[in-house]
C-alpha cells in the first residue's frame, strides 16, 4: 500500500485509555479478562465509533476509538487507511470512516456496539504490567516443548507467547507471523521487558519469522526451546545471527490529540 502526503487538518483533543469517559467508552465487566493479574481489559465501544489501530490492517492491535464527528490530524492518506496523529505515535483508521470537507478531516461512521480488547495499559501501571508478564512467563520454566502447544502441559514458541499474554487479558494471533503484526516496532537497542522478539531461519519453515520469545531484560528472553521453556541470551551467537526484530504490545495509555495551532489549524 502506498500513502501520499496530505495536509494536516484541525483536530479535537480526545484522550483514550486513561480518560475513557471522553470517548464514552466504559469497561465491559461481563467480558472480564481470564486472570485476576490481567493488565489489559476489554471495553465496550460506543455506537458510531471508528477503531484506531497500530498499523494499517484489520488484524492490527486496536489502541482506541474515535467517535463520529471527531476531527483529525491526517498525516497520510491511502486507498484503504488514513494515518492520523496520535501524539507520540501514528494510528490508523479505515478510509471509509473518514470524510474531508474544506481541508478538515472528520470521523464519519455507522455501526453497532462491539466488544473490543483495549490493547493498552493504564497510565502509571506500565512497570507493574511488565513485571506481571515476565513473572507469568517465568512460572513456566521447564515446561516441555510440544508442537502446536498453547497450554501449561506443553508449549511451542508462539503458543507460549499466546498463553502468557492471554493470561494478561491480551488478545493476539496464535502463530509467530500473526504476532509480528501486533504492537509497535521496537529497535533492539530500546527493548523493554515484555517486548516480543522475533527470529528467522530457525526451522524448515519458509515464513518471514520462525521463532518468537518474550524479552525479559538484561539482554535475555524467555522462549519455548526444543528442550522446553527456558531463558536465552540475545547475545548468543546463534540467536544474534537469526534475530529479525521486535514488537511492543505493553504500551501505556494512548492519547489521541492534535498539535495546537491558531487559525485554520492546517500545517505542512
Catalytic amino acids? 157, 211, 223
The grid coordinates listed for 124 are 502509571
185 burial (CB, 10 Å; 0-12 / 13-18 / 19+) is exposed
Report the run of H or E that residue 131 belongs to, with start and end.
helix 126-138
**Contact criterion met (CB below 8 Å) for 179 and 219:** no
Q: Cell numbers for 65, please give them.
A: 476509538
What radius of gyration, in Å, describes the C-alpha atoms of the chain?
20
8 Å CB contact between 203 and 79: no
Give dist(CA 136, CA 188) in Å, integer.
23
At 59, list the grid cell: 488484524
Neighbours of 19 (CB within 10 A): 13
* Residue 69, C-beta contacts closer than 8 angstroms, at least 6 positions apart: 106, 107, 108
CA 74, CA 93: separation in Å to the nearest integer?
A: 10
How many angstroms separate the CA atoms of 161 and 142, rounded? Answer: 15
**41: closest CA among 131, 135, 181, 168?**
168
H/E run at residue 93? strand 90-94
Amino acid at each position: 500500500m502506498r500513502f501520499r502526503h496530505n495536509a494536516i487538518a484541525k483536530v479535537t483533543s480526545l484522550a483514550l485509555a486513561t480518560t475513557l469517559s471522553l470517548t464514552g467508552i466504559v469497561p465491559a465487566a461481563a467480558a472480564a479478562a481470564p486472570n485476576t493479574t490481567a493488565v489489559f481489559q476489554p471495553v465496550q465501544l460506543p455506537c458510531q465509533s471508528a477503531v484506531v489501530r497500530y498499523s494499517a490492517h484489520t488484524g492490527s492491535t486496536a489502541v482506541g476509538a474515535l467517535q463520529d464527528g471527531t476531527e483529525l490530524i491526517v498525516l497520510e492518506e491511502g486507498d484503504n487507511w488514513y494515518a492520523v496523529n496520535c501524539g507520540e505515535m501514528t494510528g490508523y483508521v479505515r478510509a471509509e470512516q473518514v470524510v474531508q470537507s474544506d481541508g478538515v478531516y472528520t470521523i464519519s461512521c455507522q455501526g453497532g456496539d462491539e466488544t473490543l480488547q483495549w490493547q493498552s495499559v493504564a497510565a502509571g501501571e506500565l512497570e507493574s504490567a511488565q513485571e506481571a508478564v515476565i513473572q507469568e512467563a517465568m512460572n513456566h520454566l521447564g515446561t516441555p516443548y510440544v508442537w502446536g502447544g498453547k497450554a501449561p502441559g506443553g508449549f511451542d514458541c508462539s503458543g507460549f507467547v499466546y498463553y502468557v499474554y492471554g493470561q494478561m487479558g491480551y488478545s493476539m494471533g496464535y502463530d509467530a507471523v500473526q504476532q509480528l503484526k501486533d504492537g509497535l516496532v521496537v529497535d533492539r537497542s530500546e527493548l523493554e521487558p515484555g517486548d516480543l522478539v522475533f527470529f528467522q531461519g530457525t526451522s524448515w519453515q519458509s515464513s518471514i519469522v520462525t521463532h518468537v520469545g518474550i524479552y525479559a531484560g538484561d539482554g535475555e528472553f524467555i522462549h519455548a526451546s526444543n528442550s522446553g521453556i527456558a531463558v536465552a541470551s540475545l547475545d548468543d551467537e546463534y540467536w544474534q545471527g537469526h534475530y529479525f526484530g521486535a514488537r511492543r504490545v505493553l504500551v501505556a495509555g494512548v492519547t489521541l490529540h492534535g498539535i495546537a495551532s491558531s487559525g485554520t489549524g492546517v500545517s505542512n
